[in-house]
Structure 1
């Protein structure tokens, strides 16, 4: 029974290569053997007497076949296979050094390595329908074992081998059985090349890597992935065989970061077998980070670009690399995050927060961070003094009473709040949260509320959450009147946060909106009423939020809005949680207000929560009945917005959306006069 490829990729390199490289290709790729012919006496380097004494019957027959086939110009597949099998046969031999030398001389005189290379180059790269590649790899391994390959022939041979395999079509388009055997033969060939040509300078390994690395940079994605996988296998073989030097020593420094990035790039999307090889390579990298992760800026930029991947495994891996990078190169990492990565990117902020979490448990990283925050070059970039930027070091230190008193310098913090860098801004807000939690220091930062308000334009989850905490804490400790100068502007900034992706931000902003309404004085009410009316519909929808605390906060805020607007019916229905009655209440207004509500509801059709999509569709259906403007253009916009929801994953959303779309289409088909008559008959 033929041997199947190993289920684990590690097997291919850990197995002994001796029997494998001489094995004939598996069925159905066996060929019919041609009859051997005697070669001329002077074509062999062995005398008749030596042949009789040292060369076996099979070996002599194989030499005859080789000599015969070499004279044939056009070779079919059968002849190619016989030739390659015969090369393996004559190299089989035993441990007789003299015989190996004579066989090697025969191979060199007949230029067999070059002939094998030519056969590989003749193979079509767009298909794999013969076992020639497989047998050629075994022939090269056999020639290498008897040292019948000259040093100058190795690189061209490797190039031909890699090109013949790497540029094949994707695996799904190949005979997977033959393809697997071909890959195993390549593994054995490289293993034999390394073992038989091993020198103190490890020149052979460097040659193989030189060719492999060239293929990892090709534009062909399939070829690049195969070359990278072969590189992973090679690293595993070197590491597991206790090579004289670490694997990184054989890779040019300029290529190491590139290999790390390519490994990480494919680790989230490769097959299970490839993932095992990638993890082995990653272990090599993480065990020798000072050799592989030397280019800190480029590695960080790669992590920043790929952290948004949908692959949770890749995200976890990238954070692991970031941790190791920070531990070994803390200053380079901190400086690079603050100077090289995009200042306003949320992923940069995630990287920064991860680094700070390490600093909290590492005195060494914490000391480096404090030093970086007083770096003269960094201060020049952000136009602050070392003393001003150095104040932030108190935020990452243990929050003692003494540290907080020193941190409470409103003028400096106000200047730092204007720095356009999310990592540093996050630090400042974190410090202000700490100060706002204590009554005595909360009074000291109350004048900074307008500057904190300016940070809400970032709409980043962690920043928005800290900003709302600062406002609520200060208003709790100092009193709502301290926020009066900015309450109208603050309320307007809070409205978009009602639909934030973070439930914490939603709840915090809604509760703060409620507090803000209670802080308004009479001369602010006119402007505040307009903002409160715009908040009614979002609060109604959020009453159906899947997070109970957000739904309850929305109901309480809606009651507060009704009190502020002196709208008794709305207040009564909000207390009763009558959502349909609240919708009817909102729609019993003038045409312009109803139309405004209609357009405000459209963004909720794309909400991630089915409950909010349902409420929005239902409201649109009711709004169309109450709206006096039933123009064709308006109905067309509504239909287009609702159309995707007819295929919604939630059945209730599908049902109500289908009903509203059908109603819109019927109205579009009616003449304008009849449409007006029908409107008069709609229930109010």
Structure 2
């Protein structure tokens, strides 16, 4: 033993003898414990140090020191000195030389947790000292396990039971601190490939909290706990029955976080979703429809992931058929079991027999009214299949108004299916029938011209162009009003940052000019003279100025700078001022 260690031992003995100056000597006492316990790879000396620590009841002294805090210079609601920090270091040091007896663990940890967990929120504390203290506590808990590796099950039980007491506190700050320690300890065990059955000590809700904390840590990206989180996630995925018992809670967490910009978090969330679905398919399917917000696009992303994975197809179909007969679920969506049961054919092989079963316009119309993105998406999926058949397409045309009505969800996958159905049906209809549909529903396509998704913008503009080509002469007058409303949006979309959209917008504008027989507009559109086209629109029909101004407003807030520029430029068009003055 070196000179420093001998002096440290003398300081410890002086502290133990002194009853009046302990408050002044406590930092020296704690640091001296760390000094004497630094010796490594000397088993004989470690045993002597362990005997010294136990004979002098140093663990009990540290416990009493923590319990007697605060002193006058260390109020309970503050963290002004590093006493707690050095107490954790001292306990860690004693654990390293196995100087803490098994029966001392619980009371010692209880004192540690009380001294730290009941502090105010970290925002009002010395954040640097607070973080160091919490890190020291985590190291202390890990060393307690490592130092008793041969009896770690009992040691783990002692630690977890004390932690769980604080994790059940009514005080949210105390609860959060305890759960964070619990998560880090669980992750440490997982990262070291221990086979300790630590989950058995946790309540299902606490296991769920650990799963969520693991995913949150993965989402943070560059944290020192990332490796632990990945190890913990492996444990969860390998034993989902133990760790993922609360299906609704985990699904709600996935739904809230799936929109994260973190790729690693998204991958982890989908991994959890896949395993959870395999583990509890019926609970997952039902929970998506009853516990998640039904009009949220993320809910639909989850639903699509579940029902469209090839490896899920057979057994998911069985579970879907079962829940579609659930009377309680039918009551929630105000449909019959017969109507809801029809949806099973949307995920079955599209055989002639299945398509015949699916074709039921009255029931499909009722299902299209449901305020649930997952279920409406299934209906539209079925209608896409039906619309690919010439015979079926003609028979489901009566549903097109209700199909267009699903655009109320403002959801990209829904909009794409609507366009697909519309295009398929129009392809299979005769000229007269197609004309009536085009006249009645073409105006519903206009809001999609500046949709957030480029596929929807391009698809809606292409479809609008096709609709004009289907209109027979006797209905052209009725169609002209809608065509005129499409002119200014098409001019703006000629500046779309997606080249194919800009191109098709120009082509459709030329088609509109031909339809309206506006030769000057046709000439300018071919030359792509956007500023002159705007002037032409105002001069051609001054009665449309008010309509143009309303159409202009959304483009002022468009995500594309090029379209915002076009909108601002249009407001500055000199020919607008006369009608604006007249309107005032």
TM-score by length of 1: 0.74
Residue number among 146, 152, 155 corresponding to 2:99 in the alignment: 146
Structure 2 CA distance for partners of 1:74 and 1:172, relative to 1, 3 Å: closer
Asked if the contact 2:387–2:424 (Cα under 8 Å) also holds between the matched residues in 1, the reply is yes
Residue number among 56, 61, 66 corresponding to 2:10 in the alignment: 61
More moved, 260-269 vs 515-524: 515-524
Structure 2 CA distance for partners of 1:63 and 1:305, relative to 1, 3 Å: closer
Asked if the contact 2:496–2:502 (Cα under 8 Å) also holds between the matched residues in 1, the reply is yes
Shift of 1:435: 1.4
Aligned counterpart, 1:203? 157
Alignment of 1:103-502 (within 5 A): 104-107=54-57, 111-118=60-67, 121-122=70-71, 123=74, 132-141=83-92, 145-147=98-100, 150=104, 153-160=107-114, 162-163=116-117, 174=128, 182=136, 185-187=139-141, 189-191=143-145, 195=149, 198=152, 200=154, 202-210=156-164, 213=167, 218-219=172-173, 224=176, 229-240=180-191, 243=194, 245-269=196-220, 271-358=222-309, 361-502=312-453
Unaligned runs of 5+ in 1: 1-21, 25-32, 34-55, 635-684
Residue number among 552, 558, 562 corresponding to 1:611 in the alignment: 562
More moved, 326-335 vs 311-320: 311-320
Shift of 1:244: 5.6
More moved, 250-259 vs 458-467: 250-259
> Are 1:533 and 2:481 counterparts?
no
Q: Deviations over 1:433-489 (max 9, x none)?
A: 111112132222222222222222223111111111111111111224224444344
Shift of 1:111: 4.6
Shift of 1:618: 2.2
Alignment of 1:554-633 (within 5 A): 554-589=505-540, 591-622=542-573, 624-628=574-578
Residue number among 23, 28, 51 corresponding to 1:75 in the alignment: 23
Q: What secondary structure does 1:235 align onto?
A: helix
More moved, 526-535 vs 241-250: 241-250
Q: What secondary structure does 1:272 align onto?
A: coil
Q: Deviations over 1:609-648 (max 9, x none)?
A: 22222222222222x45421566999xxxxxxxxxxxxxx
Aligned counterpart, 1:677? none
CA distance in 2, matches of 1:632, 1:161: 75
Asked if the contact 1:120–1:161 (Cα under 8 Å) also holds between the matched residues in 2, the reply is yes
Asked if the contact 1:264–1:318 (Cα under 8 Å) also holds between the matched residues in 2, the reply is yes
CA distance in 2, matches of 1:565, 1:333: 54
CA distance in 2, matches of 1:545, 1:513: 17
Asked if the contact 1:395–1:431 (Cα under 8 Å) also holds between the matched residues in 2, the reply is yes
Alignment of 1:486-525 (within 5 A): 486-520=437-471, 524-525=475-476
Q: What secondary structure does 1:231 align onto?
A: helix
Structure 2 CA distance for partners of 1:607 and 1:168, relative to 1, 3 Å: closer
CA distance in 2, matches of 1:216, 1:324: 33
CA distance in 1, matches of 2:404, 2:66: 71
Structure 2 CA distance for partners of 1:64 and 1:247, relative to 1, 3 Å: closer
Aligned residues: 575
Shift of 1:497: 0.4
Asked if the contact 2:221–2:262 (Cα under 8 Å) also holds between the matched residues in 1, the reply is no
Structure 2 CA distance for partners of 1:216 and 1:195, relative to 1, 3 Å: farther
Asked if the contact 1:131–1:178 (Cα under 8 Å) also holds between the matched residues in 2, the reply is no
Q: Deviations over 1:345-370 (max 9, x none)?
A: 22211111111122554432332223
Q: Deviations over 1:207-241 (max 9, x none)?
A: 34315635897348xx94x6555333311333355
Q: Deviations over 1:532-572 (max 9, x none)?
A: 22211001111122223222221222122212222111122
Q: Deviations over 1:165-205 (max 9, x none)?
A: 99656999527996698467535554368659756595313
Shift of 1:600: 2.2
Asked if the contact 1:128–1:174 (Cα under 8 Å) also holds between the matched residues in 2, the reply is no
Looking at secondary structure, tell me which structure has more helix per residue: 2
Q: What secondary structure does 2:447 align onto?
A: helix
More moved, 134-143 vs 391-400: 134-143
Asked if the contact 2:138–2:181 (Cα under 8 Å) also holds between the matched residues in 1, the reply is no
More moved, 142-151 vs 410-419: 142-151
Structure 2 CA distance for partners of 1:157 and 1:143, relative to 1, 3 Å: farther
Alignment of 1:663-674 (within 5 A): none
CA distance in 2, matches of 1:96, 1:586: 92
Q: What secondary structure does 2:224 align onto?
A: helix
CA distance in 2, matches of 1:477, 1:377: 39
Aligned counterpart, 1:15? none
Asked which structure has the greater CA Rg, the reply is 1
CA distance in 2, matches of 1:250, 1:242: 18
Aligned counterpart, 1:84? 30
Asked if the contact 2:15–2:22 (Cα under 8 Å) also holds between the matched residues in 1, the reply is no
Q: What secondary structure does 1:75 align onto?
A: helix
CA distance in 1, matches of 2:148, 2:364: 62
Asked if the contact 1:286–1:321 (Cα under 8 Å) also holds between the matched residues in 2, the reply is yes
Shift of 1:135: 3.0
Q: What secondary structure does 2:225 align onto?
A: helix
Structure 2 CA distance for partners of 1:181 and 1:524, relative to 1, 3 Å: closer
Asked if the contact 2:247–2:287 (Cα under 8 Å) also holds between the matched residues in 1, the reply is yes
Asked if the contact 1:327–1:365 (Cα under 8 Å) also holds between the matched residues in 2, the reply is no
